[in-house]
Amino acid sequence: MASPGGEVSLSLREHFMDPHLQPGGDTRIRAILRSVIRRALSHSPGRRTKCVHRRLSAKFIADASWQKKLSRYRHLNGLTDDDYHQSALSRLRAYAHSLDKGLHEANWVAGHSACVYRRAKSIADVWERASDPTYVWACSILREYESRQVEHSTSIASRGQDVAPCSIPAHSLLEFLQTRRSSRQYVESPVTQEHVQAIVSAALEAPSSSNRQTLRVYATIEPEKALEVGQNFYGFTGFSSYVPAMLVFAVDLRPYQFPAELFIPTLDTGLAVENAALMAFSLGLSMTQLIWVARPELDLNLRSYFGIPHYEDIIVGAACGFPERDAVRPARKTVTDTLVLK
């Protein structure tokens, strides 16, 4: 990067704004970005995070939506004590998950993961949430960990249960997945609160990184409001004039570490959204995902409408209703074109 100001900026602008350039075709751009990363990694860990944020947020790299996202991530480094404490339960789940993995090992050794135990214990003792099932579960892990410290490790059986076979045949499950559709034409039949609760219940059964369970779902089942919410999403086209419900899937960013886990919140939410879409289908509904591009004015609209706090990131939206007719299923790639098996 001989000329950090002018030449690099021009090269990146040309690359990202020229629609004729093929992805990955400009090797010089890749060299420039590698140089940016090398410079960032040359700093100490404390300065490294600031350097990565500063360079990634340069206007010739990130558009307005990413500027907003990176700004939100930067803000997380300066969370107040109240913000930190409110995310304590997610961190407790993550610490308990780490201990639980060890308790499942056949060669478990007393004293292992003592540092993680102390962190979990410090949260559990201060932030009691007896009505929360995940808090109760985490405390049970802590109690088992404590009891094992006084027992002879060779006499302790690893944690676990007998394997329960899946009751759904593989061919039936595949057929169910292949039958799901993303329809945009809905009959004038309401989506009820019970429908939405069932959809969110399925979403909560999805796995999440370190069992953090950071999903948040905002919804409206009033058709007029659903249309208003849908207008904030790109791709909200081709729908019928009646859209009975809209869901917004967001994630609490506070338990994650940035920039190391920059994309993990999106992954966690994506797993939950798939579960939600399948539950909607099983209820006779069609749930169609809508891409979220966090342009400042749209971001403000949606946050103001639902009261979404600054420490949550909006990931995707979904229109939901009883389909008037099934959409024609697009062809899918073959397994041969997808799988690389060595």
For residues 67 and 302, give the distance between their C-alpha atoms in angstroms, rounded to a whole number.
17
> How many structural domains compose the chain?
3
Same domain as 57, residue 110: no
- pLDDT per residue over 261-307, tens digit each? 888 999 999 999 999 999 999 999 999 999 887 788 888 999 999 99
- The predicted model scores a pTM of 0.76
Written as one letter, the residue type at 291 is I
Same domain as 209, residue 272: yes
Sheet harboring 245-252: ordered strands across?
215-220, 245-252, 312-321, 286-291
Same domain as 127, residue 258: no
Written as one letter, the residue type at 99 is L
For residues 300 and 277, give the distance between their C-alpha atoms in angstroms, rounded to a whole number.
26
- Which of 11, 8, 10 is CA-nearest to residue 26? 11
Same domain as 276, residue 193: yes
For residues 258 and 328, give the distance between their C-alpha atoms in angstroms, rounded to a whole number.
41
Kindly report each contact of residues 72-76 with a partner whose C-beta sits within 8 Å and lies 24 or more positions away, as own/partner.
Answer: 72/253, 72/310, 72/311, 72/313, 73/253, 73/258, 73/259, 73/262, 75/310, 75/311, 76/253, 76/254, 76/256, 76/258, 76/311
What is the average pLDDT value for the chain, to the nearest integer?
81
330 lies in a domain?
no
- Its domain, for residue 38, covers 6-61
Task: Look up residue 271 and give its two tokens.
Answer: 């797993």
Contact 70, 258 (CB under 8 A): no
**Any idea what the Cα angle at residue 202 is, between residues 199 and 205, rounded to 5°?**
155
339 lies in a domain?
no
219 or 71, greater pLDDT = 219
174 lies in a domain?
no
Same domain as 135, residue 87: yes
Same domain as 300, residue 221: yes
The distance from CA 267 to its chain's CA centroid, rounded to whole angstroms, is: 4
268 lies in a domain?
yes
Q: Is 231 exposed, middle or buried (0-12, 13-18, 19+ CB in 10 A)?
A: exposed
For residues 120 and 142, give the distance between their C-alpha atoms in angstroms, rounded to a whole number.
8
pLDDT confidence of residue 70: 64
Same domain as 219, residue 277: yes
110 lies in a domain?
yes
- Which of 268, 244, 238, 239 is CA-nearest to residue 255? 268
167 lies in a domain?
no
Same domain as 233, residue 148: no
Same domain as 290, residue 189: yes
With 90 as the cut, is the pLDDT of residue 109 above it?
A: no
Task: Look up residue 203 and give its two tokens.
Answer: 């979403």
What CATH number should be reported for the domain holding residue 277? 3.40.109.10
Same domain as 311, residue 211: yes
Alpha carbon distances (Å) from 164 to 64, 102, 201, 211:
49, 21, 21, 21
Same domain as 300, residue 189: yes
Contact 310, 239 (CB under 8 A): no
- pLDDT per residue over 124-169, tens digit each? 988 777 788 999 999 999 999 998 887 655 455 567 777 888 899 9
